[in-house]
Amino acid sequence: MRRFKKILYVHDATSEVAAETLRLAMDLADRNDGHVDLIYVKGPSPAIVNTPKIASLHALWVKEAEEILTGLKKVARPESKSISKVVIGRPYIEVVREVIRRDYDLVIKPIGPYRLMDRLLGRLDMQLLRHCPCPVWLSKGEAYGAFDTVLAAVDGGEPGNQKTEDALNQQILELSFSLCEESKAELHVVHAWNAPYLTVYSKTRAGIPKQDIENYVRDEKRVHRNWLNRLMRRAAKWVNADVFGSVKRHTHLRQGFASEEVTALIAELESDLIVLGTVARTGLSGLIMGNTAEEILDQATCSILAVKPPGFDCQVRNED
């Protein structure tokens, strides 16, 4: 199963769980004989003219940022020898470029408070979910090994896109089983589905018997239930047999919109972590994907671990 050895901690000055998140990253690295580096990105100066005074203020900010990271390491783990770096630029681009340059296999960041301006300018958490080529762990400050319940969200995908979804589902389940086995946590696997023509049928009931609609919904549910059962049988082959047998697991088939059903189940189960897949898209579908992901991110009461499919095309790489 995939192990996180090279971890990049992204600092968020607005978060109250920065030290706890850095400690989580260090614990993850320790378990995998790895290491953690720190990065703090500040947006460029809004000043149009770069005067000596502006340059002086910029240098002061960099020094203060370096001191913040040094102090954070001392709080999280006094003996830490992690490398820290302060960068000026667009935060998500600089983080992704650092991931590409140093080949990190996990980015971990504390979740900060949500503000209206974040939606207008592009929230860093969401930008990382969309553009970062490696897994992204958005933490609410839990300690590693303290997980009681892990929720894995899987999806059957759109027609013609099954290979991508299969790769994502495999990563999601492998990571989820591994985390649950190490933490002695329960694993809950959720698949949200919707009958494609249910809304249309509901609005045009004239001439369509109620029984036909019920039969249609029942058949759709059976298809998704069979798919979920097959997925779990495949997971038994993906995951080490001892791990698969030792993890207590449950499956949930929920009818409705994914963002609503998943966030509701998080609350019902009081999940500590949700593992899900993200695929960045452009155009209208990209907007829809972004809204769904934001709803889960903003409403979830737990941390989020998001993974990308193999071969993910990182646009930041192309811009570099």
The closest of 251, 238, 217 to 1, measured between CA atoms, is 238
Please tell me the predicted confidence (pLDDT) of residue 287.
Answer: 37
Please tell me the predicted confidence (pLDDT) of residue 60.
Answer: 87
Please tell me the predicted confidence (pLDDT) of residue 259.
Answer: 87
The pLDDT of 4-31, averaged and rounded, is 92
Please tell me the predicted confidence (pLDDT) of residue 289.
Answer: 41
What pTM does this model have?
0.87
Helix ranges (DSSP H) in 85-151: 91-102, 116-121, 124-131
Please tell me the predicted confidence (pLDDT) of residue 152.
Answer: 95
Helix ranges (DSSP H) in the chain: 18-31, 52-76, 91-102, 116-121, 124-131, 162-183, 198-203, 210-238, 241-246, 258-269, 283-299, 315-319
Please tell me the predicted confidence (pLDDT) of residue 101.
Answer: 93
Torsion-angle region of 33 (φ positive above 0: left; ψ -120 to 50: alpha; else: beta): left
The top-scoring range by mean pLDDT among 25-29, 74-78, 90-94, 249-253 is 249-253
Give 270-308 pLDDT, tens digit per residue. Answer: 999 999 988 655 443 343 344 455 677 777 789 999 998
Please tell me the predicted confidence (pLDDT) of residue 308.
Answer: 86
Please tell me the predicted confidence (pLDDT) of residue 45.
Answer: 66
Please tell me the predicted confidence (pLDDT) of residue 236.
Answer: 94
Please tell me the predicted confidence (pLDDT) of residue 162.
Answer: 65
Please tell me the predicted confidence (pLDDT) of residue 205.
Answer: 57
Backbone phi, psi, residue 12, to 5°: -130, 110
Mean pLDDT rounded to a whole number for the chain: 83
C-alpha dihedral (261, 263, 265, 269), degrees to nearest 10: 180
Give 188-201 pLDDT, tens digit per residue. Answer: 999 999 877 666 55
Distant-in-sequence, close-in-space partners of 220: CB < 8 Å, separation ≥ 6: 193, 195, 196
Looking at per-residue pLDDT, the higher value among 267 and 43 belongs to: 267
Give 134-189 pLDDT, tens digit per residue. Answer: 999 999 888 877 889 999 999 876 555 667 678 889 999 999 999 999 889 999 99
Band (pLDDT 50/70/90 cuts) for residue 310 is confident
Please tell me the predicted confidence (pLDDT) of residue 201.
Answer: 54
Give 179-225 pLDDT, tens digit per residue. Answer: 999 889 999 999 999 877 666 555 555 567 778 878 888 999 999 99
Pick from 101-105, 180-184, 238-242, 281-285: least confident: 281-285
Q: How far is CA 88 from CA 37, 42, 51, 57, in A?
A: 17, 5, 17, 13
Please tell me the predicted confidence (pLDDT) of residue 155.
Answer: 87
Please tell me the predicted confidence (pLDDT) of residue 9.
Answer: 97
Tokens coding 44: 């460029």
Give 45-87 pLDDT, tens digit per residue. Answer: 665 656 777 778 778 888 999 999 999 999 888 887 788 999 9
Domains assigned to the chain: 6-139 (3.40.50.620), 149-319 (3.40.50.12370)
